[in-house]
Copies of this chain bind each other. A is one copy, B any other.
Amino acid sequence: MKINEARPYVVKNLPYALNPRSIAVVGASRYKSKVGNKVVYELQKWGYKGKIYPVNPRADQVLGLKAYHTLSDIPDEIDLVFVAVPAHLVNSIVHEAVKIKAKMLVIATSAFKEIGRGELQNDITEYCREHELPLIGPNLVGMGSPYMHFNCGFIPYLPVPGPIAMISQSGANLLAALGTSQEENLGMSFFVGLGNKADVDFSEFIEYAEADPHTNVLSIYIEGLDSPEAFVKSCQKCTKPIVVIKVGRSQIGVKAAFAHTASENPETDEYYDSIIKEAGAIRVTTWQEFLDVSLALGYQPTLKGDNVVMITNGGGAGLLSCDHFERLGMPLHELKDISPLLAARIRAYMPMFGSPLNPVDISGTASVIQYKGAFQQALRDPKVDGVLGAICPTAVTDVLGVAKAAIEVYESTKELGKPFLMICQGGAECAEAIKLLREHGIPAYKTAEQAVNAMVALRKAAKK
């Protein structure tokens, strides 16, 4: 339901959604296959430090914990009530949550507005608002943070710790991102599924993320924007970069967004474009771009000017990149125009058939020493704003050696505040190099276009 701006009582209570001292899980089942069981199981498994109170009218114990028949039976203050019972039982639980003065209410249950029960959802929302009990959901997957060892929902894994705050209406896409986080070292500060977002709104989590010390970038997946004014206000106040993917732009997508999270899209996609622009956020198109851009904005400084130098041992990666830079409206400049001195110096790190154009092609024979020298020269040149490196696995390329050299140069030039991204296109050794580079804070990508998308986003973020 629409709000005009982020509500202070909601923002004040949001820390209880991600770092509660106590949780009541209503609908905590004894049976392993049930989602209500998974919530308690995952809380325990990932090392939640607070108290867990399973609530189940037909159980005395769940997963070794004493269970309570009702919320009111719990002899403790409850910060967070997590609801995973069938939809027709939810209303009475909400009233009880208000009664016990819970700080935060999360309704995971589906089958509300998205299947035509808008009135029931609105009634619950209004009741919560009247009693200033912030409600997240309904119809969501959960939330968590690797820093808090907190995994609260139907969520098989925590992400690796890092700077990305992920705020997503879709549970499945959120889960996918968490899986990617583990597989590809995409570090997150916290994550939350908003589902139907009946009450708590994007704007309020944006203010939470702004204050969160672990967060460097906000990554927001939107299916519908009920409160565009509040969104714009909170984004404009936010000093951290914000990446947005907004779906439901196609004809069938408008219907699918309603069927999924009861999201309404009364406006054209151009309207959302303009809202996101006004907010100063960066809109991306594909899910891959969403992850790739988030990674770069999370780990790297923004790009202060257009002078990007690309250093590669593969002319092909260079060509894919420079075409894509131009496609995105930020063409590469020739090295001799950026810095004639650098163009001359960099010659020392390539064979005669290399090319100092930009992309700088130090050739397929490039050694670790040549890479290191070229990286150093480029990053240290005062005319250069950012560097994009690329490794292709020729038969003589020491892929991991180059990755280590890149890390060394990056660490010794970090104080210059210039973004440094890498492309490692190839097989197993490249996957390993990507992991290693990411562990050291260098966003590394499998294809040229992914890295270019990220670099261009770093430029946009500088212009906010």
Binding site for B on A (CB under 8 A): 33, 35, 38, 42, 110-111, 114-115, 139, 141, 153-157, 168-176, 178-183, 221, 223, 247-253, 255-257, 259-261, 285-288, 312-320, 322-327, 331-334, 351-353, 355, 357-359, 361, 363-365, 392-396, 425-431, 446-450
Contact = CB atoms under 8 A, between A and B. Distances in A.
A355 B256 contact: yes
A169 B317 CA distance: 12
B426 A320 contact: no
Contact of A395 (B156, B331, B351, B395): B156
A352 B111 contact: yes
B353 A115 contact: yes
Nearest to A452: B286
A319 B141 contact: no
A373 B274 CA distance: 43
Given A154-B364, A353-B110, A428-B183, A331 B252 contact: yes
A312 B173 CA distance: 12
28 contacts: A35-B365, A114-B355, A154-B364, A155-B395, A170-B314, A170-B316, A172-B364, A172-B394, A176-B317, A176-B393, A178-B426, A179-B393, A179-B429, A180-B427, A182-B428, A183-B427, A248-B319, A249-B323, A252-B322, A252-B332, A252-B334, A256-B315, A259-B355, A260-B315, A260-B316, A260-B319, A287-B425, A288-B447
B394 A141 contact: yes
Contacts of A320: 173, 247, 286-287
B353 A114 contact: yes
A323 B248 contact: yes
A55 to B, nearest CB: 19
A285 to B, nearest CB: 8
Q: Which 10 residue pairs spanning A and B have beta carbons closest together?
A: A172-B314, A179-B427, A170-B316, A260-B315, A179-B426, A173-B316, A250-B326, A172-B392, A176-B425, A259-B355
A435 to B, nearest CB: 13
Given A38-B396, A247-B320, A259-B357, 14 more contacts: A33-B396, A110-B353, A110-B363, A154-B364, A175-B392, A183-B427, A183-B431, A250-B322, A251-B326, A252-B326, A255-B334, A256-B318, A259-B315, A288-B288
Count of identical protomers in the assembly = 2
Give the residue among A179, A323, A327 with the most B Cβ atoms within 10 A.
Answer: A323
Given A154-B395, A250-B322, A256-B322, A316 B172 contact: yes
B178 A250 contact: no
A173 B35 contact: no
A329 to B, nearest CB: 11
Give the residue among A259, A285, A331 with the most B Cβ atoms within 10 A.
Answer: A259
Contact of A42 (B172, B325, B355, B395): B395
A351 to B, nearest CB: 8
Contacts of A355: 114, 256, 259-260
A323 B247 contact: yes
Given A179-B425, A396-B35, A313 B172 contact: yes
